[in-house]
Amino acid sequence: MITESDREGLFLLAVVPCLNEENTVGWVVSNIPRSIEGIARVEVLVLDDGSTDDTANRARQAGAEVVSRSSNQGLGATFREAVGIAIAKGAHVMVHIDGDGQFDPADIATLVKPVVEKRADMVTASRFLDKSLIPDMPRVKRWGNHGVAYIVRLLSGKTFRDVSCGFRVFSRETLLQMNLFGSFTYTQESFLDLIFKGLTILEVPVKVRGVREFGTSRIASSIPRYAVRSLTIMLRAFISYRPFRFFASIAIVFMAIGLGFLAFLGIHYLSAGSFSPHIWAGFVGGSFAFLGFTTLVTGLIGDMLVRIRMNQEAMLYDLKRTRLERQKSDTPR
């Protein structure tokens, strides 16, 4: 939470993840606004995720602090590192903007405002909220984005138009509460994580470049691969918070099939006076009914584990908060 005592000296950390973005990273870093209403200080951090070109040097030349990895770890892992660095630096607000030049850094001021005013915990740029700003992009990618947004709506019950955009703003409180695990990407998982924790997410329409000017996307270079890995991450996130709902839905299907076979066998017995020749239906029905019961028990166990996890996350939050407060008290004034 941004307190009144912090308001006069808010510190914003703009994080730019990069992989072989030597043609655009300098432009992105140079155009990140250093003067933003409500923000006293702006720093730019480039996270070089194993680039083999001149990305790191060009980012430094543009005025950014650079943290480089020797090998590519994935956008999700890079984002987790960004969150850790932002908390360690004591940032009140973190901006996460891709280094490929598709987003206009000047829009940072627009996205930051709702967080500074405490109207949102996370603000995300939206490419599809305003129909007049929808970018020119391959149709398959547009369908893919809409499909992923629909899945997030099914899983969470909340409607968002763009859950895959890499241009977002987070409050400090959000950073402290967020715990993500996917290495491939963070975009959809963060939506589900924050929704299930009751935090406020706001979409803001922005104009973006629909197709990269240089290179290819490291995330969506293969649409089938992106779809499978994103769906896997979203299902894991959903099961992590709603295991009973997930397994109970499967259990109902198994039990319905099992009861159907058992009902068929019962009707046959009443009409023929014998289980033969359909005694097989009893074995099949009993197997499905038992499978449904065990699946339901799995959901109940998962629900208990979620309660343990939430207690652990609460303790982790308190630990992060304590470390942050200790760091602030130890900082010379």
CATH number of residue 60's parent domain: 3.90.550.10
Over range 68-90, report the average pLDDT. 90
Is residue 231 domain-shared with residue 296, that is, in the same domain? no
Is residue 225 domain-shared with residue 280, that is, in the same domain? no
Taking a C-beta distance cutoff of 8 angstroms, is the pair 210, 165 a contact? no
Lowest mean pLDDT of 35-39, 148-152, 199-203, name the range.
148-152
Percent of the chain clearing pLDDT 70 (strictly above): 91
Helices (H), 212-331: 223-241, 243-272, 279-330
Percent of the chain clearing pLDDT 90 (strictly above): 56
Is residue 250 domain-shared with residue 217, that is, in the same domain? no
H or E stretch including 192? helix 187-196
Is residue 139 domain-shared with residue 283, that is, in the same domain? no
Domain count for the chain, please give it.
Answer: 2
Instruction: Give the Cα separation of 187 and 260 in Å (integer).
Output: 42
* Residue 134: HSE in the Cβ half-sphere, 13 Å Cα cutoff: 15
Instruction: Give the Cα separation of 165 and 177 in Å (integer).
Output: 21
Q: Is the pLDDT of residue 216 over 60?
A: no
Is residue 219 domain-shared with residue 272, that is, in the same domain? no
Position 5 confidence tier, pLDDT thresholds 50, 70, 90:
very low
Q: Is the pLDDT of residue 3 over 60?
A: no
Q: Is the pLDDT of residue 277 over 60?
A: yes
3-class SS at 178? Answer: coil
In three-state form (DSSP H/G/I as H, E/B as E, the rest C), the secondary structure along 28-77 is HHHHCCCCECCECEEEEEEEEECCCCCHHHHHHHCCCEEEEECCCCCHHH
Is residue 108 domain-shared with residue 176, that is, in the same domain? yes
Instruction: Give the Cα separation of 46 and 66 in Å (integer).
Output: 5
Domain boundary among 241, 260, 291: 241
Beta strands in 176-229 (DSSP E): 201-205
Domain boundary among 241, 268, 283: 241
Is residue 170 domain-shared with residue 248, that is, in the same domain? no
Is residue 18 domain-shared with residue 161, that is, in the same domain? yes
Q: What is the domain extent for residue 324? A: 243-330
Instruction: Give the Cα separation of 322 and 302 in Å (integer).
Output: 30
* Structure tokens that stand for 109 in this block: 């001021």
Domain boundary among 241, 268, 300: 241
Phi, psi for residue 211 in degrees, rounded to 5? -130, 135
Taking a C-beta distance cutoff of 8 angstroms, is the pair 125, 95 a contact? no
Is residue 24 domain-shared with residue 121, that is, in the same domain? yes
Over range 227-245, report the average pLDDT. 84
Instruction: Give the Cα separation of 215 and 55 in Å (integer).
Output: 13
Is residue 271 domain-shared with residue 258, that is, in the same domain? yes
Task: List Cα–Cα distances, 258 to 254, 264, 272, in angstroms.
Answer: 6, 10, 21
Is residue 99 domain-shared with residue 192, that is, in the same domain? yes
pTM for the model: 0.79
Give the type of residue at 150.
Answer: Y
Instruction: Give the Cα separation of 155 and 198 in Å (integer).
Output: 14
Is residue 44 domain-shared with residue 111, that is, in the same domain? yes
